[in-house]
Amino acid sequence: MYTYYITTPLAPGEPGKMTSKWQEKIKKVGLKTGVAEIMAGCGPVVVIKRKGKAKGFAKQRGRPKGHVAKPSCVSHIKVEEKIENHEDIKKNIVVASDEAGEDFLFRRGVVTGVTKVTEKNGFVWLKYGVMEEGAKANQFFVNAQFCQDPSFFGTVPPASFALDWRKLRGPSLSSMIKALNVHTNPDNLELVQAGELTEHSTILAGILEIQQRFQNQGLEFKILGPQECINLGDPGGIPEDLGGESEKCKKAILAIRACYFGIWSQGPPRHYTYLKLSRDESGHLADYKDSLSPAAPANLIVAKTILINLGLSSLIDGLLATNKCFQKGGWECGIYFLKWLEHDLRMTRKEAPMIYVCTYI
């Protein structure tokens, strides 16, 4: 049994009046019809929250039966459901992701409550209620995916933030020049300019630079740029070649601990997104991020096609964008891909996140 509360900004000067009217409407016509009529009569989004009722409440005020709020009933409703006796309750956590925002980064405490949140687009995530450490004992709420065990927080010094070009010589320098094709096309490295979509060659340069900085840091990873992802995301399957390079690439992707994909789609819109495929003892996991809100459907189709072509079609059903920060303009998507790429590599190394690593470009 649950008590349903409808929350929305009240009309100025009428505290409580609109709420009582809406409650009466819900009792008369039912939850789904009532919410639809309320939404038609006012602009703000109506949010239905499910909370446990007080003892004896049902005896004082009867409630109609059969009206249970479900995400599938009204598509624009966000539902929150408190989970009793969750395994993470009483767990010590620290907010370790800069996506939580600078107001929450590095805050520590004990989880006192866990709430399951279903967004209007069907995405489900967990919200922690955390009692903060210290004399003030403030409580705050944060997305569970932004938290980690304090015992793994910042156990290694951070890797370099800049590439030492004096050490980039010989075969390493030659392979980078060849990959960028700058020996025949000197203008192939376009500078990143605000307001203009980042070119493939610039994204590739960023990938190569990150690979050079993290290749000797004890990590097992592979990064595939936009052009390689176009081949992997072919709806007709991965193109075969006489030398068997395509099959070798597929086996290497499935065998490595972590593979990152810089997904590109002509759209509309023309857009870059992020896909990570990781492997552990239980099998493969996929993490997808999109800097647009709502997410670009064309890129998500490419991401799912890549997983299907790799023989991992079981991962596509639950594949949704997991990020909570989004680009401010129409051109930063490639920069977000590189930021998420480096952020995940540093988190994998058990680095503490840097306070000056800003969520916004």
Identify which of 151, 156, 134 has the alpha carbon closest to the alpha carbon of residue 91. 151
Q: Using CA atoms, how far apart are residues 262 and 275, in angstroms rounded to an integer? A: 7
pLDDT for residue 309 = 93
pLDDT for residue 15 = 45
Residue in the structure block whose two tokens are 């951070």: 158
Residue pair 103/84 in contact by the 8 Å Cβ criterion:
no
pLDDT for residue 179 = 65
Fold of the domain built from segment(s) 165-348: Adenoviral Proteinase; Chain (3.40.395)
Whole-structure pTM over 0.85, yes or no?
no
pLDDT for residue 248 = 87
Fold of the domain built from segment(s) 82-152: SH3 type barrels. (2.30.30)
What are 40's two structure tokens? 């038609």
Q: Which residue intervals of the chain bear CATH 3.40.395.10?
A: 165-348
pLDDT for residue 49 = 52
pLDDT for residue 291 = 93
Q: pLDDT averaged over consecutive 10-residue blocks of the chain (361 residues)?
A: 44 54 77 75 55 48 47 60 91 83 82 90 87 77 87 70 62 65 62 73 86 84 91 86 80 94 91 94 92 93 95 92 86 91 87 51 36
261 C-beta neighbours (distance < 10 Å), count: 28
Q: Which residue intervals of the chain bear CATH 2.30.30?
A: 82-152
